[in-house]
Structure 1
Amino acid sequence: MWFKNLRLYRFTQPVDFDHESLNDALAQQPFRPCGSLDPMRYGWVPPLGRHGQEWVHSANGYHMICAKRQEKILPAAVINEHLEEKVADIKAQESRHVARKEKQDLKDEVIFSLLPKAFSKSSLDFAYIAPREGLIVVNAASAKKAEELLSALREALGSLSLIPVAPNTIPTQAMTHWLLHGDLPDDFTLGEECELRGGKDGRVVRFKNQDLSADEVLNHLNAGMYVNRLALTWKDAIHCIVDDQLAIKRVKFEDRILEQADEGNPETAAETFDADFVVMTTELSAFIGAMMQAFGGEDTSWQG
């Protein structure tokens, strides 16, 4: 349940979230497994999985939600193999060329015939709503995956006005300045990984397990490259990678943070989930605030 990625979205209109109404809304669009001819299904499931029945888990003013995605796995090589056989049969039996449009139609037929036999792959997408902060935090590595969850939430609620959180300072400019001059914001320290981009040839240089203050890194920056991704640590408690879109990836909590959730000696899966959720959201609330301050505060120009 501990989030590994953070994508931040701001409510642009006041929304009054409460556990009961949100729970009722998600219950109307539950996840249903793929049928024999469904390539993909997406819907809501209880965040506690088999240990809970509520569609929303609420604690400390935050609401955790979870969506499930299931898709049929049809490798391209398998599809192409069956397609080539069909095309070869037509050429042999009818002595004619198969045009591109007909070939696409044949491909659709192949996919349709293979779907009932395909294996299914499932994944869970978590997010939590922070009404006090006016945010939704999505545990997604890609913007596309986050938008899929938000689209499903928008459909369940009827409307949902959101924009990605943006800082006042362009992330690449701020991170390049930090690395070049070594003056990071309070409570932040450099990790050992970064990605540099730029130069006349548009090259990309990546460093891992590297002292980022070394001349080898700084020489690239002095030559005109900029920081596109940077490893940071906040208060020796949360480690992460921040990219040019302010997406926060590969989040890792120090053991002392994880251990806080065990201090109440939770006995059931539900109690454990609840304790983890409270500790995680408390830490992330402070971390997200510090991160936004580090990048010059949040851009609120959308307010007009």
Structure 2
Amino acid sequence: MWFKNLRVFRLAEPFTMTAEALDEALESNSFNPCGKMDMSRYGWVSPLGPDGQTLTHSANGYIAIAAKKQEKILPAGVIKEQLDEKVRAIRAEEGRPVGRKERDGMKDEIIFTLLPQAFTKSSIDFAYIDTRNDQIVVNASSATRAEDMLSALREALGSLRVVPLTPKDPAIQVMTHWVREHELATDFELGDECELNASSDERVIRCKKLDLHDDQVRQHIETGMYVNKLAIQWKEAISCIIDDQFTFKRVKFADELLERAGDRAPETLAEQFDAEFAIMTLELSAFIRAAIDAFGGESTDTLVSEATDL
């Protein structure tokens, strides 16, 4: 269950609810599959997998949660084909054009007819609440998916005031300095990938599998370009891409960490999850602290002025 993407949020106030109490709160919004006429369903599932008995899992002050989204698959091409056939039939039989409002109504009827026959696709997003550091870490590649989970959590709890974890020094400024000056914070090293953007035009340069100490990269920065995304390594334990929003993507953990979880010889999926979760959360907690320190510390202005119920 190793997280691949990190979107970190600061809680406006300490999270004092126990894992057991949170489990009860989530129960009323647990996942139910799509009915015949549902386009989609969203709800909480056990982070331990299909055999899990609870909607939370806790270890060392970290509480894991998981939400499942199920959607009906209705290809736009199929809907369009049936709609075009109906429009042609009306024109042929009644000799009149079909207006936009009528087309929209016909389209709704087609969707209504196809829904019960549609296949479904499902996805599960994971997150954990760090009660020690008052953070929520969501494993989501997009802001929308993270916001969906936070919104569902707020609905279950009644209130959830959070803001994205924001450093004092803008991510673009720090990353550009690292690449230009080759001066990184302690324990951080440049990876082999970055994305450069120009402030004066729409130029974008993507560097992959490249030595970022190369003078060509610095020359681009000297012409006014800045680093928008940057591959880094931390303590040879975690590698990832940091972007301008201070989110962490394509997170990879060192083989040593993966092997350490396997050394516990888990016999079930639940035991495997527990072993991986315990190691992962401790490592990520240290990494997130190091990252925020490397970017000048945490900004408190955003927390005071923008913390809202999401």
TM-score by length of 1: 0.97
**Which residue is equivalent to 1:179?**
179
- 1:162-181 deviation digits (Å, cap 9, x = unpaired): 11111101111110111011
Determine the C-alpha separation between the residues in 2 that align with 1:267 and 1:33. 29
Determine the C-alpha separation between the residues in 2 that align with 1:70 and 1:3. 21
Aligned residues with identical type, % of pairs: 57
Quote the offset at 1:201 in angstroms: 2.7
Quote the offset at 1:78 in angstroms: 1.2
- 1:95-148 deviation digits (Å, cap 9, x = unpaired): 111122222222222211111111100011100000110000000000000000
**Which residue is equivalent to 1:303?**
304
Quote the offset at 1:27 in angstroms: 1.2
Quote the offset at 1:213 in angstroms: 1.5
**Which residue is equivalent to 1:165?**
165
- 1:261-304 deviation digits (Å, cap 9, x = unpaired): 12333333222211111000010000000010111111111336
Decide which moves more: 294-303 or 193-202: 193-202
Determine the C-alpha separation between the residues in 2 that align with 1:153 and 1:199. 38
Mapping for residues 11-30 of structure 1, pairs under 5 Å: 11-30=11-30
**Which residue is equivalent to 1:156?**
156
Quote the offset at 1:214 in angstroms: 1.2
**Which residue is equivalent to 2:226?**
226
Mapping for residues 1-304 of structure 1, pairs under 5 Å: 1-301=1-301, 302-303=303-304
The residue identity in structure 2 corresponding to 1:252 is K
Determine the C-alpha separation between the residues in 2 that align with 1:50 and 1:13. 32
Residues 238, 254 of structure 1: 8 Å contact kept: yes
Gaps of 5+ in 1: none
Quote the offset at 1:52 in angstroms: 1.4
Determine the C-alpha separation between the residues in 1 that align with 2:185 and 2:299. 18
Partner of 2:262, secondary structure, is coil
- 1:43-73 deviation digits (Å, cap 9, x = unpaired): 0111111231111011111100000000011
Residues 7, 138 of structure 2: 8 Å contact kept: yes
Determine the C-alpha separation between the residues in 2 that align with 1:133 and 1:173. 26
Determine the C-alpha separation between the residues in 1 that align with 2:199 and 2:20. 54
Residues 199, 223 of structure 1: 8 Å contact kept: no
Residues 2, 280 of structure 1: 8 Å contact kept: yes
Determine the C-alpha separation between the residues in 2 that align with 1:172 and 1:28. 42
Decide which moves more: 231-240 or 210-219: 210-219
Residues 17, 131 of structure 1: 8 Å contact kept: no
Determine the C-alpha separation between the residues in 1 that align with 2:148 and 2:127. 12
Residues 4, 139 of structure 1: 8 Å contact kept: yes
Gaps of 5+ in 2: 306-310
Residues 49, 270 of structure 2: 8 Å contact kept: no
Decide which moves more: 56-65 or 98-107: 98-107
**Which residue is equivalent to 2:308?**
none
Determine the C-alpha separation between the residues in 2 that align with 1:200 and 1:269. 52
Determine the C-alpha separation between the residues in 2 that align with 1:100 and 1:214. 57
- How many residues are treated as equivalent by the alignment? 304
- 1:18-37 deviation digits (Å, cap 9, x = unpaired): 01110101111110000111
The residue identity in structure 1 corresponding to 2:162 is L
Determine the C-alpha separation between the residues in 1 that align with 2:98 and 2:116. 26
Determine the C-alpha separation between the residues in 2 that align with 1:219 and 1:78. 51
Residues 14, 131 of structure 2: 8 Å contact kept: no
Quote the offset at 1:217 in angstroms: 1.5
Determine the C-alpha separation between the residues in 1 that align with 2:178 and 2:140. 26
Determine the C-alpha separation between the residues in 1 that align with 2:144 and 2:182. 34
Misfit runs of 4+, over 4 Å:
none
Quote the offset at 1:199 in angstroms: 4.7
Determine the C-alpha separation between the residues in 1 that align with 2:14 and 2:297. 20
TM-score by length of 2: 0.95
Residues 13, 134 of structure 2: 8 Å contact kept: no
Determine the C-alpha separation between the residues in 2 that align with 1:30 and 1:252. 30
